[in-house]
Amino acid sequence: MQSAECPPTQPFVIIIFGGNGDLSRQKLLPALYNLDADGYLHADGKIVLVSRKELTTDTFKSQIRDVFKQKIPEQYDEVIWKKFVAKIYYQTLEATNPQDFTQLKQLLNQLTTHNVDLIHYLATPPTLFGTICENLGAANLNHDNTRVVIEKPLGKDLASSRKINDEIAQHFRENQTFRIDHYLGKETVQNLLAIRFANSLFEPMWNNEGIDHVEITVAETLGVEGREAYYSTTGALKDMLQNHILQLLCLVAMEPPNNLDADSVRDEKLKVLKSLRPIVGKDIREKTVRGIYTSGSVGGESVKGYLELMQAFDKNNTPMTSHRHLAETFVALNVNIDNWRWEGVPFYLRTGKRLPKRYSEIVIFFKPIPHSIFSQKKEDIEPNKMVIRLQPEETIELHITNKVPSLAQDNMKLRSAALNLSLSQAFNSQRRIDAYERLLLDVINNTATLFMRRDEVEAAWQWIDHITRGWESFHYDCYSYVAGTWGPTASIALPLKDNRVWYE
């Protein structure tokens, strides 16, 4: 275990609603354990799990211990576990029952002194956000030292997102509201800020004079098994693009903020979101592609198609027999940002389930050279590229054209090769830090830079709503693609229309 690089937090209590659920067990508690192991959490920090399920604290603790042994075996250590588990309390609570919140308050009064920071983490479906906040308000658990943390889906369109935000805003001020997009907690995503604003090399050409186009791909091999109900009303555009991919785009495209304060960064991201050119009219067919996977093979294993999966899931209801009833599992967009810096630079975005490989990558394609002095024509000299890989490994490659070593005198052969930086090797990282560790530490420390402000979320929905409305009004159905391939052929054609190809 490494020791904390900054002083431990202030005393705090984090209350996780939905504490017995998957997010809590698989992500939040392991992240808190790692933070504690590394010395980041105050000795008086407390973690209160609340959930409908009747469980004793001891049963819950022993279940969690099993999860840790399986999920983070390298980090699990009996001594550290004993220290961590002393912080944990479990209480049964029905989110709709105000009396349960009075009991919660009694527990909190026993655990803490008056002024300690309370963090309410709502790891529940968003339909409960309003009720929980109302009950917290009624129990006076929303005083100045409290924060509320919420996660996507923050709505399914602008109207529903506003409703969620309004319900929360009745009881918590904006600066008490922390909206998580776990992509912002990933190390390499934060490193984007460092690459751009801590180096003088790139920023002078980080605009339409130096950059030809940008590509952002988030490819997954997983299907939607186990999440059929959620996915049937969501789809890749709302599940992945509205939040994670647009946030990545903002960090690539924003102007330099004055500093790293939450509002300075968020003001700049908001400007990007507001500059996105709406995709409407004939551009719906020209600039968007949606798809669903049919049966195929991924990683050598046969997998069912999405339609079959949803039919099996929906067999007790109206059978879904056509693509028209299904939300897409793949989406690709050609996006323009209407401002001085990015005029004429397309951003190609794509994400999909059941693709051949799992990776997330941002590729910056620089402009070609203006003239070739070599025997290779300038069109045949590959332009420079920067490939920023967020996962599975965290690497940055700079593709540079070089002379191929040879004694031949008549013609100098050129070829692109990559300068390759692996962040784990360069910084000798002992283990990979999970996004939730960064984000939970920031919430505890009341640092909001990596969280989304209400106006950002709403600007993103406003832009996405143009696309969903366009798909509906033009009856733009999903194309199909075989599981284990790179999406529908229409997606390959998307950059091809501009004589470009996806980087694979």
CA distances from 376 to 1, 379, 414 (A): 53, 8, 8
CB 252 within 8 A of CB 387: no
Cβ neighbours of residue 163 under 8 Å, at least 6 residues apart? 155
By C-beta, is 147 or 182 nearer to ligand BG6?
182
Q: What are the residue ranges of helices labelled H in 288-370?
A: 306-313
Strands (E), 329-431: 330-335, 347-352, 359-366, 385-391, 395-403, 414-422
Beta carbon nearer to ligand BG6, 151 or 212: 151
Crossing angle between the packed helical segments 78-85 and 29-37, to the nearest 10 degrees? 110
Query: At 393, phi and psi to the nearest 5?
Result: -100, 160
Q: Which of residues 242 and 275 has its CB atom nearest to ligand BG6 in the complex?
A: 242
> If you write DSSP's letter for every residue of 196-214 in order, what string do you get?
HHS-TTTGGGSSTTTEEEE
Site string for ligand BG6, 447-476 (x = CB under 6 A): ------------------------------
377 SS3 class: coil
Choose, from 171, 182, 213, 244, the residue flagged as catalytic. 244
Nearer to ligand BG6, 182 or 304 (CB): 182
Per 3-state DSSP, the chain is made up of helix, strand and coil in percentages (nearest 5) of 40, 20, 40
Please report whether residue 239 would count as binding ligand BG6 according to CB under 6 A.
Answer: yes
In the complex, what is the shortest distance from the CB of residue 361 to ligand BG6, in angstroms, rounded to a whole number? 11
Report the nearest approach of ligand BG6 to the CB of residue 404 (Å).
Answer: 37
Residues 172-201 contacting ligand BG6, CB under 6 A: 182
Residues numbered 352 to 371 that lie near ligand BG6 (CB under 6 A) are 360
Range list of β-strands (E), 367-449: 385-391, 395-403, 414-422
User: How many residues does the structure list for the chain?
Assistant: 504
Taking the complex as a whole, the smallest distance from the CB of residue 411 to ligand BG6 amounts, in Å, to: 45
Number of residues that bind ligand BG6 (CB under 6 A): 6
Position 38 contacts ligand BG6 (CB under 6 A): no
Strand pairing category for 301-303 and 296-298: antiparallel
Closest chain position to ligand BG6 (CB): 239
Restricting to residues 267-296, which ones interact with ligand BG6 according to CB under 6 A? none
DSSP string, 176-193: GEEEE-GGGGSHHHHHHH
The reply to whether 437 sits near ligand BG6 by the rule CB under 6 A is no
**Shortest Cβ distance from residue 134 to ligand BG6 (Å)?**
26
Q: What is the largest CA-CA distance in the chain?
A: 87
Complex with ligand BG6: residue 243 or 485, whichever CB lies closer: 243
CB of 246 to ligand BG6, least distance (A): 13
Q: Which is nearer to ligand BG6, 230 or 340 (CB)?
A: 230
220 is a contact residue toward ligand BG6 (CB under 6 A): yes
The C-alpha torsion from 90 through 95 and 98 to 103, rounded to 10°, is: 0
Nearest approach in angstroms of CB 60 to ligand BG6 is: 25
Residues 150-169 that bind ligand BG6 (CB under 6 A): none
Our CB check for ligand BG6 shows the closer of 287 and 290 to be 290
Backbone angles phi and psi of 450, in degrees to 5: -90, 20
In the complex, least distance from residue 309 CB atom to ligand BG6, rounded to whole angstroms: 14
Quote the distance between the C-alpha of residue 305 and its chain's center: 25
Residues 215 and 362: beta-carbon distance below 8 Å: yes
Query: Least separation, in Å, of the C-beta of 182 and ligand BG6?
Result: 6
- The answer to whether the CB of 218 falls within 8 A of the CB of 389 is no
Q: Is the Cβ of residue 245 or residue 272 nearer to ligand BG6 in the bound state?
A: 245
For the record, the structure tokens of 303 come out as 């997998």
Q: Is 114 a catalytic residue?
A: no
Torsion, CA 133, CA 138, CA 141, CA 147, rounded to 10: 30
Any idea which residues carry the catalytic annotation?
244
Question: Given the rule CB under 6 A, which residues bind ligand BG6?
Answer: 182, 220, 222, 239-240, 360
